[in-house]
Amino acid sequence: MDSAPSVNATYLASAEQTLVKILVAGPLGVGKTTMIDALSETVPLHTEETMTQASTSVDDLAGARNKTTTTVAIDFGRRTLPGDLVLYLFGTPGQRRFRPLWEDIAHGALGALVLIDTRRLDASFEVIDMIEERGLPYAVAVNAFDDAPAHAHAVLREHLDLAPETPLVTCDARDRVSSIDALIALVSHLVAHSALDAS
Ligand SMILES: Nc1nc2c(ncn2[C@@H]2O[C@H](COP(=O)(O)OP(=O)(O)OP(=O)(O)O)[C@@H](O)[C@H]2O)c(=O)[nH]1
Ligand SMILES: [Mg+2]
């Protein structure tokens, strides 16, 4: 008699797969949840809560005036790239006051994709500082909102004080292909700097 297949058989990672934890980071309202929704091949997990009046004095929402919810802990999704590279994507809050939570989520991550909004460039400093303090390799992706200024990449690099090897790309967080391209820029950077062996 044939034995019944294991219920979880389809969820077991193949021996060929490389599993990698990646952070999707960036300031409030930059599009982290949107990008993980666009990218994830599984039903993404979000911990969204309605924003309250109490946050208005500390959280700068210029450029995202219609925003009514925020991610209070994490977003989580999964994306497989060619070569059986399975990325586990963790969206993290960018405010320094969430540092302990941030450190927990960042544990074991190989790299970070930092989303930025050119209408609020200074809001990116906190998160980039935290990532650099942790020594995590990262790539920067400009989430191109319709009314955001389109600065030349050289200007953005200087303003954000990016190292020459740090990838800087432009994307639309709502678009899957564009978001995958941003992830590939990060993964290529990780491979080039030996943080990831994808061979
Ligand atoms: N026009 C435009 N809107 C976008 C884009 N990306 C995100 N949005 C919208 O911007 C708002 C904020 O996006 P979220 O994905 O919630 O941002 P977040 O970074 O997860 O925000 P927090 O979790 O609060 O930090 C949402 O209403 C999105 O639909 C974009 O590329 N273009
Ligand atoms: Mg969010």
* Ligand 1 center from residue 29 Cα (angstroms): 5
- Summarize pLDDT for 177-193 with one digit per residue, the tens: 999 999 999 999 999 98
Mutate to test the pocket of ligand 1, among 34, 101, 179 (most ligand atoms within 8 A of CB): 34
Ligand 1 contact, 118 CB (< 6 A): no
* Ligand 2 center from residue 16 Cα (angstroms): 32
* pTM, to two decimals: 0.86
In the chain, which stretches have pLDDT less than 70? Answer: 1-15, 52-66, 198-199
Question: How far is the C-alpha of 57 from the C-alpha of 45, rounded, in Å?
Answer: 28
Are 175 and 38 in contact, with CB atoms under 8 Å apart?
A: yes
Ligand 1 contact, 116 CB (< 6 A): no
- Summarize pLDDT for 11-27 with one digit per residue, the tens: 555 668 999 999 999 99
Please tell me the CATH code under which domain 16-192 is placed.
3.40.50.300
